[in-house]
Structure 1
Amino acid sequence: MTRQDGGAAPAVRTVEGDLPGAELGVCDAHDHLFLRSPRLPGQELADAGAAERQLRAFAEHGGRSFVQWTPYGLGRHSGALVELARRTGVRIVAATGLHQAQHYTEEPPSDPAELFVQELTCGIRGGVCGESPRAGLIKVAGDFHGLGPYARRTMTAAAEAHHATGAPIAVHLELGTGATDVLELLCAQQEVPPSSVLLGHLGRCPDVRMQREAARSGAWLVFDGPSRTHHATDWRLFDSLADLLEQGYGDQLLLGGDTVTATARAETGVPYVSRVLRPRVARELGVTTGQQLFVDNPARAFATHWKS
């Protein structure tokens, strides 16, 4: 994709190729079709048929694009993502990156930055370079109220990969905490633009002052997990959104379902975002806000000037 002046235009890197952000339409900005972790025994998301049914139901209620934050080594099923996108018509963005060490039984890659760059530019590991789908973002994770050595290594590697490729960096904030430490490392020390950082799970720590501070940085604020009916802070979601909208941060907000277990999929799952959450946002916060949070913001958040 090029601009009329010959430069590279911002693009979202989906499993089927790059496209303008405007083509995403209604977007689930953080979710999972496939996921496995030793921390969630018996709750694996590994059924391609179930994933297709979830996507079709999501699309039936207006959903048009889906960002899977499942990183390296946690059962991404990258090949299945391509087929699912083709069969359902839903645009899918895949992730590279690394989660917390506790989610792995094997040693992490010796050079994570090299892995991230390879998966963003050549294709997700396990496939043939040029034929395997490419990742469209980097997923890393912080720790509870801070960053340990492992988190610092993976985030530093993510920053290196961002500078090499332009890819956005999506961050799992443990229970919504640690945003200040993440921004200090990624933006202040590693010079990643805040507009390339997505802070996930921000609503799990319903501290309005903390959320406003994160917003002042210019980073994206991702409120996710509302489909999980057992989550204790979900009832505060609309209070947080209303406050941030009133403070003028509406152009930094993203919403997603973050369906991570078989139980959550059975209870509500991916379709909740388009079937329930989007209409409620339009009803309680306004149609214009609904357009902003589900269409306009994702079109900017996941598009970047990709580097060769």
Structure 2
Amino acid sequence: MTATIRTVLGDVTPEEFGVCDSHDHLFIRTPMLPGKKLDDAAAALAELNAFTEAGGNAVVQWTPWGMGARPEDLRRLSQRTCVHIVSATGMHQAKHYDQGELRRVYDQLAGLFIHELTGARTRAGMVKVAGAFHHVDDHARHVIAAAAEAHHATDAPIGVHLEGGTAALDVLDLLCDTHRVPAHRVILGHLHRFPDTRIHRQVAEAGAFLAFDGPSRAHHGTDWLLLSSLGALIDAGHAERVLLGGDTTTPTARSSADGPGMPFLLRSLRPRIERELGHDVASMIFIENPSRAFAVNWRKDSA
């Protein structure tokens, strides 16, 4: 069986995927950011165009079910720009949802995730879940169990929002030991927000992917440690486990609004990584690693 990456326009081979922003958002809404939703298709198009001009080929949108992912707009954007776009199913922390809407689907999450991965017109290519700050709460346990069931039905990778970059080992233990999800199918996000290089090495040694995402946000005080964190992983022999993403979640974070946006990864970070860690490492982070992290031997599909 040949592994493929499921994009909004269909499955592509890992060799086709190219230079990838491994965690970002073209559309997202949440009551936690009132008045700051990403819902402007024209602005999303401008951001994608800027990304392609910087050398980008693929974007993975981690916006899960119920948070305004706008799959049909993603299809149109992919068609117009020729950027491979991977969308997500899954569920974020409970605070990001209307509680009535949450109750309606809460006991049917695995079926919902599997449908969005295999049966929807615009199919997702990953499942997103979320931990809590320094622990895994009951909501996260419920969603993670459903995500694991969806993984076992499809082989889809599971991306994890780590709140403040914390609880990485707790989440990995729950997914891998309790629910038997292989570590290489797990992508742990926001690790730059908790720059404990010992934990980073433990996660990498277990076989999970580490996503360093959201560079140069005004409220993240650990940006200056990013290259040191990456360097520690490279020195320990874990270059093949690292991913990078922009995690743009508000209109003002976009490059068109004088924020770093998606192009920052390729215009600013990639040259620094090439200079300080080597061209081969940069190629792994932006090309080879994403093509492995999101490539799936799909186990279930609809006719």
Q: How does 1:77-156 map to 2 (within 5 A)?
A: 77-106=70-99, 107-108=101-102, 109=105, 110-123=107-120, 132-156=121-145
Distance 2:267 2:55 in 1: 8
3-state DSSP class of the match of 1:146? Answer: coil
1:293 to 261, 285, 289: 285
User: What is the aligned partner in structure 2 of residue 129 from structure 1?
Assistant: none
User: What is the aligned partner in structure 1 of residue 49 from structure 2?
Assistant: 56
Distance 1:90 1:273 in 2: 16
TM-score where L is the length of structure 2: 0.95
Distance 1:52 1:223 in 2: 24
Distance 1:140 1:230 in 2: 23
Q: Does the 8 Å CA contact 1:227/1:259 hold for their aligned counterparts?
A: no
Residue-by-residue CA offset, 1:37-64 (whole Å, 9 max, x unaligned): 0000111100000000000000001100
Structure 2: state its 5+ residue gaps. Answer: none
1:272 matched to 2:264? The reply is yes
User: What is the aligned partner in structure 2 of residue 178 from structure 1?
Assistant: 167
Distance 1:207 1:227 in 2: 19
Q: Which runs of 4+ in 1 moved over 2 A?
A: none
Distance 2:248 2:217 in 1: 7
1:74 matched to 2:67? The reply is yes
User: What is the aligned partner in structure 1 of residue 241 from structure 2?
Assistant: 252
Q: Does the 8 Å CA contact 1:227/1:269 hold for their aligned counterparts?
A: no
Distance 1:276 1:99 in 2: 30
1:193 to 171, 175, 182: 182
Amino acid across the alignment from 2:179: Q
1:214 matched to 2:203? The reply is yes
TM-score where L is the length of structure 1: 0.93
Aligned length: 293
Amino acid across the alignment from 1:195: H
Q: Tell me by how many angstroms 1:144 deviates.
A: 0.5
Q: Tell me by how many angstroms 1:268 deviates.
A: 1.7
Distance 1:175 1:44 in 2: 21
Distance 2:19 2:216 in 1: 17
Amino acid across the alignment from 1:113: A
1:22 matched to 2:15? The reply is yes
3-state DSSP class of the match of 1:171? Answer: strand
Structure 1: state its 5+ residue gaps. Answer: 1-7, 124-131
Q: Tell me by how many angstroms 1:105 deviates.
A: 1.4
Single out whichever of 229-238 and 89-98 deviates more from structure 2: 229-238
1:65 matched to 2:58? The reply is yes
Residue-by-residue CA offset, 1:269-306 (whole Å, 9 max, x unaligned): 11212222222211221111110100010010000100
Amino acid across the alignment from 2:289: N
3-state DSSP class of the match of 2:228? Answer: helix
Distance 1:163 1:297 in 2: 22
Distance 2:80 2:272 in 1: 28
Aligned-pair RMSD on alpha carbons? Answer: 0.9
Residue-by-residue CA offset, 1:231-283 (whole Å, 9 max, x unaligned): 11111100000000000010000000001111212212112122222222112
1:223 matched to 2:212? The reply is yes
